[in-house]
Chain A
Amino acid sequence: MAKSLPNEAELYQKIKDEKIEIDSKIWALFYEHIGNAVTVINLISTYFLQSNNPLPIKMAKKILNYTRDINHTLDCILYPNENYLEDDLFKQLRKENVSLHPVIKEMLTHYVGNDVYGINLIIGDSLDPAAPQDVPLEHLPRVIEKTRSLRQFLDRLREATLKIAAF
């Protein structure tokens, strides 16, 4: 899991005290783009782990494409004036000038950013352009752990910011 921010407890307390919420359209973007990408990374890594096979170069590159998509979505959400996402929801967010509270921005940057960076490092380590190699089997649990960490962070943030009961 991404290392906790030193002021994590304080940030969650601030969300609670100030009743900080996240617009439902932003959540929809998280799930549509980040949620799906994290799911596919988890599925691919688990498939090869369960097969007892290293991750082939082609699949490793596919995972890096998904992490690129996550980073791009995150950038678009964090800095809506500087980036662009071909998505009706995103266009609507720009039109309505919906923004995120700085506390949420800080947490997203740290937790999502670090876990995605972690996946890139684990996978990228084997993809030296001069001599790319399959990603060793023993590295796959670490990738899966990063996807779990991303999910746990989104779940916790969702719980802290949404005023509806979980299922």
Chain B
Amino acid sequence: MQKQSLKLLVIDDEEGIVEWVQKIYSRKGFKTFGATDGVSAVDIFKKERPEITLIDIHMPYSAIDGVETLERIKQIEKNALCIMVTRITDRDKVEASKRLGALHYITKPLEVEDLDRVVDEAKDLALKAKSKSRK
């Protein structure tokens, strides 16, 4: 993988998921950030402006859920590349996320292979956007 200092923000109310997704993608060359609730995630987003954000839709212990987190992030950066982590019973929330411009949806339980596929695609888009903005 070409070394790029792309930033990845992981938002999930399960600490273990945040910790290990960060570890896996740090090793792949990303600068990673993590949050276990929507409000602190939005603060991190404002400060760090990550190119890719992974958002768990269902966060029962967070003051704002994944959809509202996405909405706030899109208000800050409309081109933010956001991947939603969903479950089948979140159908309405998935539809709302689509309308808000989420890039992809993957379902729990997660597998690293599936995650790699969508993160790689987002990475390509982020690198293209970066090179365009340099021209």
Contact = CB atoms under 8 A, between A and B. Distances in A.
A5 interface: no
Contact of A43 (B21, B27, B87, B88): B21
B: contact size bracket: 20 to 34
A30 to B, nearest CB: 8
A167 B86 contact: yes
Contact of B58 (A31, A158, A167): A31
B89 A40 contact: no
Q: Is the interface of A mostly helix, strand, loop or mixed?
A: helix
A42 interface: yes
Interface residues of A, number: 33
Interface in A120-167: 144, 147-148, 150-151, 154-155, 158, 162, 164, 166-167
Given A39-B17, A164-B88, A167-B88, A50 B109 contact: no
Given A36-B17, A47-B20, A50-B24, A147 B87 contact: no
Contacts of A36: 14, 16-17, 108-109
Contacts, number: 80
A24 interface: yes
Contacts of B117: none
A39 B88 contact: no
A167 B94 contact: yes
Interface string B107-135: 11111100000000000000000000000
A47 B14 CA distance: 17
B91 interface: yes
A50 B70 CA distance: 31
24 contacts: A28-B87, A28-B89, A31-B87, A31-B89, A32-B58, A32-B60, A35-B87, A36-B109, A39-B109, A40-B16, A42-B111, A42-B112, A43-B16, A43-B21, A43-B23, A43-B110, A46-B24, A66-B16, A144-B111, A154-B109, A155-B107, A162-B88, A166-B88, A167-B105
